[in-house]
Amino acid sequence: MSTHHIQVKVNGAVKAAEVESRLLLVHFLRESLNLTGTHIGCDTTSCGACTVLWNGRAVKSCTLFAVQADGAELRTVEGLAQDGKLHPIQVGFHEKHGLQCGFCTPGMMMASVALLEANPKPTEDEIRWGLSGNLCRCTGYVNIVKAVQQAAEQMQG
Amino acid sequence: MDKTELPWNNPVVEANASAPAARLGQYAQPPLRNFGSIDPYNRISREAKDMIPPPFEYQAPTSVSEALALLGKNPEAKVLAGGQSLIPLMRFRLASPAMLVDLNRIGDLAYIKEGEGWLRIGAMTRESDLDQSDLIAKKYPLLADTTHVVADPLVRNLSTLGGNLAHADPANDHPATMIAYRAQIVATGPKGERTIPASEFFKGPFETALAPNELLTEIRIPAPGKGSGGAYVKMERKVGDFATAAVAVQVSLAKDGTLERVGIALTNVGLVPIQASAAEKALTGKKPDDAVLRQAADLAAKAAKPESDARGSEEYKRALVKTLTVRALRKAVARAQGG
């Protein structure tokens, strides 16, 4: 069995572990670190429920091995709220009813955060394009877009 | 498979950010989490165990020569680039390589440079970096169109140009584009570099001209002269899907407005990307009026070898190639006339 020592920074905290090479990043986050906010939706690199930020880029954590994240800075949905205060994207999803069943929400929010950090004033088209790797099976896209728009306004103060 | 074989049963420790990894000791702390009697398999889903790849050795070289040495010594090894096709295949256990040689730690394989008549792109350049390149947006519209429609934005943040080509899935988008561009693919092996024309690179589905001990290291696209333009037109059922069919076109116009050079290639309508040579030939030297473009599109549709599947019937796909070829030609010509 091939195991490797990795050290990653997750939501600001450094974590170290011995991981098997075949351990997927999403399983490392959920099962080893107990960060179950990151969901597994499809297991086929299709749905984006497992989206996390890997060195600032939004990626599908089911399609990256944990060993590849050695030395990386990761952000998950658990890292959004700071000091008990919700992140503007969380406020947006709450106030604009950006979720129905909520399963896709962590991935949607992480992809949105990456989008807004790269492009603070996205048009509606840019939001839809930016979130095109994230599927909502409730088809609640209209309110998801509104949530991102509200967050964009809020983040600009 | 019993529970002890689960890949996530290793302990995790909280570490001091300033402490070097080597000094973290023997993981004296207990695991953060103990599953107790819960079987994670049951908790995730019945099929979850099928979504864990079989064990493999993992190596992450930091230079091309180190990677080549590993490939030379381990003929069973598979190269890991962006991983957005390979990792799903491993999860489905359709691929179970004994070793992965991960190129992601080789920093000098990611670049976009123009000079001496070529655009040179490092094999590990990610799609999102191509998508955000001003140079490519301005001078290489065919490549810009293509990279913009590969999979979805999350996948593009990891997937690489070299991986898209070396994986040689007939549904991948860049192979046709590189054939239309008359691009050269650089393979580096133990004896040095050789270049392979894109039109000779794809040997079959998931099969290329690369030897097992060679790495695809660079892609070279001829820098387009004045009066050049290109376009990639793809029909997909939804964003992120593979092409039902797609057409890549690159043209350059002579001073009198006639077509001087024409490259046309087709995606996902055959076991390999198809160069529509008869259509290219029919256009060369002609004025690009609509009747001429339509005639060429007929020839492109004839060159296609689609198969009926969930994305459409053979007949439909052939008709689609015709329509997409006309659209791609019009767009490419308009761009060539504009710049």
Parse chain B into domains and list their residue ranges: 3-105, 107-222, 228-338
Q: Reply yes or no on whether the pLDDT at B101 is more than 70.
A: yes
Cβ pair B251, B180 in contact under 8 A = no
- For residue B10, the model assigns a pLDDT of 63
Tokens matching residue B3: 């529970």
- CA gap B128, B258 in Å, rounded: 35
pLDDT band at B15 (very low <50, low <70, confident <90, very high): low
Q: Does B157 contact A57 at a Cβ distance shorter than 8 Å? A: yes
pLDDT band at A2 (very low <50, low <70, confident <90, very high): confident
- CA gap B220, A143 in Å, rounded: 44
Burial class, B88, CB count within 10 angstroms (exposed 0-12 / middle 13-18 / buried 19+) = buried
Measured between beta carbons, the chain B residues lying within 8 angstroms of A111 are 153-154
Q: Does B24 contact A16 at a Cβ distance shorter than 8 Å? A: yes
CB burial of B248-272 (b: ≥16 within 10 Å; e: otherwise) equals bbbbbbeeeeebbbbbbbbbbbbeb
**CATH number attached to the domain at B107-222:** 3.30.465.10
pLDDT digits 0-9 by tens, B187-206? 999 999 999 999 999 999 99
Asked if A14 is an interface residue toward chain B (Cβ–Cβ < 8 A), one would say: yes
- β-partners of residue A15 are A8, B14
- For residue B34, the model assigns a pLDDT of 38
Q: Reply yes or no on whether the pLDDT at B3 is more than 70.
A: no
Q: Which of A17, A57, A65 sits opposite B10 (nearest CB)?
A: A17
Beta strand pairing call for B274-275 and B259-267: antiparallel
Measured between beta carbons, the chain A residues lying within 8 angstroms of B157 are 54, 57-59
Q: Which of A60, A62, A68 sits opposite B102 (nearest CB)?
A: A68
Q: Does A21 contact B58 at a Cβ distance shorter than 8 Å? A: yes
Cβ pair B57, B100 in contact under 8 A = yes
Residue-range domain boundaries for chain A: 3-79, 88-155
Tokens matching residue A77: 């949905």
Measured between beta carbons, the chain A residues lying within 8 angstroms of B58 are 2, 4, 21, 65, 67
Comparing alpha-carbon positions, the chain B residue that sits nearest to A17 is B12
Q: Reply yes or no on whether the pLDDT at B33 is more than 60.
A: no
Return the biggest CA–CA distance within chain B. Answer: 79
Q: Reply yes or no on whether the pLDDT at A71 is more than 60.
A: yes
Q: Which of residues 71-110 of A touch B (CB under 8 A)?
A: none
Cβ pair B84, B152 in contact under 8 A = no
- CA gap B43, B300 in Å, rounded: 52
- CA gap A11, B16 in Å, rounded: 14
Q: Which of A16, A44, A51 sits opposite B154 (nearest CB)?
A: A51
CA atoms within 13 A on the CB side of B11: 11
Q: Reply yes or no on whether the pLDDT at B46 is more than 60.
A: no
- CA gap B108, B295 in Å, rounded: 45
Tokens matching residue B186: 């650089």
Measured between beta carbons, the chain A residues lying within 8 angstroms of B81 are none
Q: Does B158 contact A21 at a Cβ distance shorter than 8 Å? A: no
Cβ pair B150, B164 in contact under 8 A = yes
Residues 6+ positions from A64 with CB-CB distance below 8 Å: A24, A25, A54, B83, B87, B158
ipTM over cut 0.85: yes
Q: Reply yes or no on whether the pLDDT at A60 is more than 70.
A: yes
Measured between beta carbons, the chain A residues lying within 8 angstroms of B53 are 22
- For residue B7, the model assigns a pLDDT of 65
Q: Which of B7, B32, B88 sits opposite A45 (nearest CB)?
A: B88
- For residue B237, the model assigns a pLDDT of 93
CATH of A3-79, one of 3.10.20.30, 3.40.50.300, 2.60.40.1760, 3.30.70.2340: 3.10.20.30
Cβ pair B104, B80 in contact under 8 A = yes
Q: Does A34 contact B102 at a Cβ distance shorter than 8 Å? A: no
**B3-105 is classed CATH 3.30.43.10:** yes
Q: Reply yes or no on whether the pLDDT at B41 is more than 80.
A: no
pLDDT digits 0-9 by tens, B245-285? 999 999 999 999 999 999 999 999 999 999 999 999 999 99
pLDDT band at B22 (very low <50, low <70, confident <90, very high): very low
- CA gap B163, B167 in Å, rounded: 6
Residue whose entry in the numeric block shows the structure tokens 């990386």: A72
Sign of CA dihedral A120, A126, A131, A136: positive
pLDDT band at B14 (very low <50, low <70, confident <90, very high): low
Mean pLDDT of B309-326: 97
Comparing alpha-carbon positions, the chain A residue that sits nearest to B152 is A133
Q: Reply yes or no on whether the pLDDT at B60 is more than 60.
A: yes
Asked if B152 is an interface residue toward chain A (Cβ–Cβ < 8 A), one would say: yes
Mean pLDDT of B87-102: 94
- CA gap B138, B9 in Å, rounded: 50
Asked if B40 is an interface residue toward chain A (Cβ–Cβ < 8 A), one would say: yes
Comparing alpha-carbon positions, the chain B residue that sits nearest to A39 is B44
Q: Does B87 contact A63 at a Cβ distance shorter than 8 Å? A: yes
Homologous superfamily (CATH) of B228-338 is CO dehydrogenase flavoprotein, C-terminal domain (3.30.390.50)
Measured between beta carbons, the chain A residues lying within 8 angstroms of B31 are 32
- Cα A16 to Cα A30, A63, A79, B14: the distances in Å are 15, 20, 18, 7
- For residue A43, the model assigns a pLDDT of 85
SS (HEC) of chain B: CCHHHCCCCCCEEEECCCCCHHHHCCCCCCCCCCCCCCCHHHHHCCCHHHHCCCCCEEECCCCHHHHHHHHHHCCCEEEECCCCCHHHHHHCCCCCCCEEEEHHHCHHHCCEEEECCEEEEECCCEHHHHHCCHHHHHHCHHHHHHHHCCCCHHHHCCCEHHHHHHHCCCCCCHHHHHHHHCCEEEEEECCEEEEEEHHHCEEECCEECCCCCCEEEEEEEECCCCCEEEEEEEECCCCCCCCCEEEEEEEEECCCCCEEEEEEEEECCCCCCEECHHHHHHHCCCCCCHHHHHHHHHHHHHHCCCCCECCECHHHHHHHHHHHHHHHHHHHHHHHHHC
Which of B50-64, B66-80, B154-168 bottoms out in mean pLDDT, i.e. has the lowest?
B50-64
Mean pLDDT of B88-113: 95
Q: Reply yes or no on whether the pLDDT at A5 is more than 90.
A: yes
Asked if B13 is an interface residue toward chain A (Cβ–Cβ < 8 A), one would say: yes
Q: Which of A1, A31, A46 sits opposite B55 (nearest CB)?
A: A1
Q: Reply yes or no on whether the pLDDT at B38 is more than 90.
A: no
To 5 degrees, how large is the angle CA B316–CA B321–CA B326? 130
Residue in B102, B154, B155, B159 to test binding to A, most A beta-carbons within 10 Å = B154
Q: Does the reported pTM lie above 0.95?
A: no
Cβ pair B268, B149 in contact under 8 A = no
Asked if A49 is an interface residue toward chain B (Cβ–Cβ < 8 A), one would say: no
Q: Reply yes or no on whether the pLDDT at B54 is more than 60.
A: yes
- For residue B239, the model assigns a pLDDT of 87
> Which three-class secondary structure state does DSSP give residue A109?
helix
Asked if B57 is an interface residue toward chain A (Cβ–Cβ < 8 A), one would say: yes
Q: Does B83 contact A33 at a Cβ distance shorter than 8 Å? A: no
Calculate the average pLDDT of chain B. Answer: 89
CATH of A88-155, one of 1.20.1250.20, 3.40.50.720, 1.10.150.120, 1.10.940.10: 1.10.150.120
Query: Minimal Cα–Cα distance from B303 to chain A, Å?
Result: 32
Beta strand pairing call for B245-253 and B259-267: antiparallel
Percent of chain A beyond pLDDT 70? 99
- β-partners of residue A52 are A59
Q: Reply yes or no on whether the pLDDT at B121 is more than 90.
A: yes
Q: Reply yes or no on whether the pLDDT at B27 is more than 90.
A: no
